[in-house]
Chain A
């Protein structure tokens, strides 16, 4: 098992290395002068040339990459030409807000997706199955920015049931930053009222993010439940008079959620990319909005960093999924050796 995880780690490292090479290559071969972009139009030619030298832009590509990689090892991703701050500092500031949102969205999509999937599969061809099928078709076909705008329009602007954009109302002072998770920090500061307000602010953006995944995970769970229900062992469990609740939520659910767990890992990365849109709509001061701003402003260092952070998250989540799957599925665990 340790060997398996080691192998997966090595693979992830390789992929990340390749990704950095790819994105760095694209960033450097593009027309335009990063030094000029960093300094703005008002800088003199001499200042630009000095920065070019400093950024090793006059060296051949492999040398540039070497310096860049060396700086990366020291946690230095360069300076953002837009915020004029070190990119690393920006990342530390913005990532928690996005992670808080994504974790909440994952929780919502996992719970709702699983429950509807199990019910639709167990009561196959019932009205509930038909309804969930219809809704999931819509969910998969609707871009998350459309969902975001629609929810904001209906629940916040028209019905006034939910708060509007941002993480907190403007009048409210955010708690001291510890984890960067607004809900956790408020609780740590002994202010459950702020935590509740922050949670309310998260509901609409989190649902906007979750919709497509609820639809997908629901479909996958349903298919898997239907498939497993036809397995002989389920008949055998029934023949032996196993309680229905135990049959469904233990013996049917566990083998059925294995494919869903795999998909959830993939979905986590997709949530990060969909957060690009949702954070724009909800003015969420997070990593994804930072990424969009960087892209709109051709902020090369920030763009490279953003892609790498997402690649890293993706790799880590997939590793985690493999480990979870291994615990759920003894066939994989026993085959990869050690128990």
Chain B
């Protein structure tokens, strides 16, 4: 008996490893996805290690040195310096910390409620539970997320925390809609009906039978959404409703730099490029995952 268990465990581990190898093989067939992954890993590492690897970590804090103000890119300042003489390269790397934090916090706050609500509505498709949940979802989807997030942040005090809460508040409906669609089609599948016939509880069916089959699209969407949330965060800071100066938000830096165009172009272009690169990387990796999981549309 015990032997048997051990065998089963090993077999399932082997299968998992094989699944992973096959997935990696599919992912690596698209060179763009691999490039995206490499870029992404570098950005994450750089952001984590920012205090140790940036040339001027103190420039991410309130700091002025007017002697170095507005210097073009050089070997001492890769991306040049800004109006008050801070090193833009160091600030961009620190800016990634904010961007990634926004992405991670928003998705961890927003995805779980969205998935659970979608799951409940999908399983109870056609009943009043479905109607209530999905109509509320519709209300949140009735205006673009940027508008609602802006309105909410505007009514609160603009700062990083409130910005993340506002985006999370407008983000869950997308997941409840996605999971609703998946769950309502899964619930008529044979394995779900079989579980129902054997008398499994509702909770078991929703969380152990249906949910695992929704994870691949949800994960793919999360990767793609990281890019979109980062974009939204940068947008909010650009408008002035996000990370407040002197903290180095990427959007804030673009907005500040734009005031000094066309002369000191580096103050805008480099933070802007930094935003594009991180979003692009998330999109490329997300597309790769879409191929791996063979997800049609998320």
> Are chains A and B touching directly in their complex (CB below 8 angstroms)?
yes
In whole angstroms, how far apart are the Cα atoms of A23 and B238 in the complex?
23
Q: Tell whether A157 pairs with B261 under 8 Å between CB atoms, given A141-B280, A269-B143, A277-B238.
A: yes
Contacts of A27 in B (CB 8 A): 155
Q: Tell whether A298 pairs with B154 under 8 Å between CB atoms, given A149-B268, A157-B262.
A: yes
Q: Is A273 an interface residue (CB 8 A)?
A: yes
In whole angstroms, how far apart are the Cα atoms of A82 and B251 in the complex?
25
In whole angstroms, how far apart are the Cα atoms of A303 and B276 in the complex?
30
Tell me the interface secondary structure of chain B in the complex: helix
Interface centre among B151, B153, B238, B280 (most CB of A within 10 A): B151
> A193 to nearest B CB, angstroms?
28
Within 9-58 of A, Cβ neighbours of B (below 8 Å) are at 11, 14-16, 18-19, 22-23, 26-27, 30
In whole angstroms, how far apart are the Cα atoms of A22 and B275 in the complex?
32
**A-contacting 9-mer, from B108-116, B131-139, B187-195, B204-212:** B131-139
Q: Tell whether A292 pairs with B239 under 8 Å between CB atoms, given A19-B142, A146-B254, A276-B150.
A: yes
In whole angstroms, how far apart are the Cα atoms of A270 and B40 in the complex?
27
B147 and A16 contact, CB distance less than 8 A:
no
- Of the candidates B251, B262, B275, B279, which one forms a contact with A153 in the assembled complex, judged by CB atoms under 8 Å apart? B262
Contacts of A93 in B (CB 8 A): none
The A/B interface has a contact count, at CB < 8 Å, of 130
Contacts of A294 in B (CB 8 A): 154
Q: Is B272 an interface residue (CB 8 A)?
A: yes
> A126 to nearest B CB, angstroms?
17
- Of the candidates B138, B145, B156, B234, which one forms a contact with A30 in the assembled complex, judged by CB atoms under 8 Å apart? B156
A298 and B254 contact, CB distance less than 8 A:
no
Within 271-289 of A, Cβ neighbours of B (below 8 Å) are at 272-274, 276-277, 280-281
Q: Mark B258-275, 1 if CB is under 8 A from A, else 0.
A: 100110010011001001
B265 and A272 contact, CB distance less than 8 A:
no
In whole angstroms, how far apart are the Cα atoms of A35 and B153 in the complex?
20
> A257 to nearest B CB, angstroms?
17
A142 and B258 contact, CB distance less than 8 A:
no
Q: Is B72 an interface residue (CB 8 A)?
A: no
Q: Mark A186-224, 1 if CB is under 8 A from B, else 0.
A: 000000000000000000000000000000000000000
Q: Is A140 an interface residue (CB 8 A)?
A: yes
**B-contacting 9-mer, from A64-72, A96-104, A230-238, A308-316:** A308-316
A16 and B142 contact, CB distance less than 8 A:
yes
Contacts of A120 in B (CB 8 A): none
Q: Which residues of A contact B (CB under 8 A)?
A: 11, 14-16, 18-19, 22-23, 26-27, 30, 137-138, 140-143, 145-146, 149-150, 152-153, 157-158, 269-270, 272-274, 276-277, 280-281, 291-292, 294-296, 298, 300, 303, 306-307, 310-311, 314-315
Can you give 27 contacting A-B residue pairs, CB < 8 Å?
A15-B139, A16-B142, A19-B139, A19-B143, A22-B140, A137-B280, A137-B284, A141-B279, A141-B283, A143-B235, A143-B238, A149-B261, A150-B272, A153-B261, A157-B261, A157-B262, A269-B144, A273-B144, A274-B146, A277-B235, A280-B239, A292-B239, A294-B154, A298-B154, A303-B151, A307-B147, A314-B142
